[in-house]
Amino acid sequence: MLPILGQNSLKDSYGRAIRDLRISITDRCNFRCIYCMPETGVKWKQKSEILSYEELTFLTEVFVSLGITKIRVTGGEPLLRRGVVRFIESLAKIPGIEDLAMTTNAYFLPEFAEKLSKAGLKRVSISIDSLRPRSFELLTKVNALDRVLAGIEAARKYNLTPIKVNMVVMRGINDLEIVDFATFARKYGLVARYIEYMPLDGPGEWRREMVVSGKEIYEQINEHYPLVPLHPNHKSETARRYGFADGTAGEIGIIAPVTEPFCGACSRIRLTADGQIRTCLFSLNEHNLRDLLRNGANRTDIVDFIAEAVLKKEAGHRINEPDFIPPERTMSCIGG
């Protein structure tokens, strides 16, 4: 039996309030990060399969009416899709959205940062897994570190802050740069977020021995720059937060879904570019909201469908269980 829904009432079967929606607007990307998709890419969805901006705006309004307060626009690479600035502007006008953010690889931010800021985007999270040109190219298959660094500077200039720079830490690949990223955060007043390597890679080559644990990451940074814990912004926050004991600007965040799962307080769901609700990053099942919408469902039907999907949200991701099965879609197709 579905609950009676009203403002701030979208909850799963474990009593977790759902406040955070990730909206992927494209599955396409100009990078080929090794933990995200195969170097050869994946088969892109056809334009007709992708939700239009009008559909996305309408669905966002429905989600917000059910208590969603945080919206993050993702991809693939969201800045590849034409009209993204107008879309951000439409989202910014929806009453009830408290936090409007974007995850990007920053390649296009030098051209887009000012426009996005004026459209109403509040902040950006930037994927950057190496500060060394050769390593960056090996990880992304693109010689573009200078452009990404320029994108970070543009985000700073136009106050898309706090800027989070996300590093997926992989043993033997970029783990020697853990302290370098902390130094980078201190120099520019950024939030450096270290993310454990998860089984979402395109080639399917994830190996547990490549995971650098959150504990190990913390110890490396703390040895070089003593850290002090910071209070979480909210109880469902995924990162453990730290400031620098010497008072230097910048912040450290450690996200450890493999070694320290935080599923118990999860407040997040995802909407893929082709209109599928995913209740967990590692869901094996999706809920087809696109076809319901396009087949003429009214608002009540859509609300009931969303509520029913949320009630099926998993207790956790099961990465550490012997029967764990990774999702068929790569990270680039799911949305960050």
In this predicted structure, what is the pLDDT of residue 271? Answer: 97
The neighbouring-strand residues paired with 253 are: 193, 241
In this predicted structure, what is the pLDDT of residue 4? Answer: 40
In this predicted structure, what is the pLDDT of residue 9? Answer: 78
Which region holds residue 213: left if phi is over 0, alpha if psi is between -120 and 50, else beta? beta
Give percent helix, percent strand, percent coil of the chain, each to the nearest 5: 35, 20, 50
C-alpha to C-alpha distance for 219 and 236, rounded to whole angstroms: 24
Neighbour-count burial for 185-224, b at 16+ CB within 10 Å, e otherwise:
bbebebbbbbbbbbbbbbeeebeeebbbbbebbbebbeee
SS (H, E, C) 38-56: CCCCCCCCCHHHCCCHHHH
Q: Is the pLDDT of residue 322 over 90?
A: no
In this predicted structure, what is the pLDDT of residue 287? Answer: 96
In this predicted structure, what is the pLDDT of residue 263? Answer: 76
DSSP 211: B
Q: How far is CA 112 from the centre of its chain?
A: 19
C-alpha to C-alpha distance for 253 and 255, rounded to whole angstroms: 7
What tokens does 144 get? 């573009």
C-alpha to C-alpha distance for 10 and 307, rounded to whole angstroms: 7
Give the confidence band of 213 by pLDDT, cuts at 50, 70, 90. Answer: very high
Q: For 96-120, what is each residue's pLDDT tens digit?
A: 999 999 999 999 999 999 999 999 9
Domain-wise residue ranges, the chain: 20-334
Average pLDDT of span 221-234: 91
Q: For 160-206, what is each residue's pLDDT tens digit?
A: 999 999 999 999 999 999 999 999 999 999 999 999 987 765 555 66
Contacts of 15 (CB under 8 A, 6+ apart): none
Average pLDDT of span 325-334: 63
CATH code reported for the domain at 20-334: 3.20.20.70
What tokens does 216 get? 């190990």
Q: For 50-79, what is each residue's pLDDT tens digit?
A: 999 999 999 999 999 999 999 999 999 999
In this predicted structure, what is the pLDDT of residue 187? Answer: 97
Give the confidence band of 326 by pLDDT, cuts at 50, 70, 90. Answer: low
Q: For 271-309, what is each residue's pLDDT tens digit?
A: 999 999 999 877 778 999 999 999 999 999 999 999 999
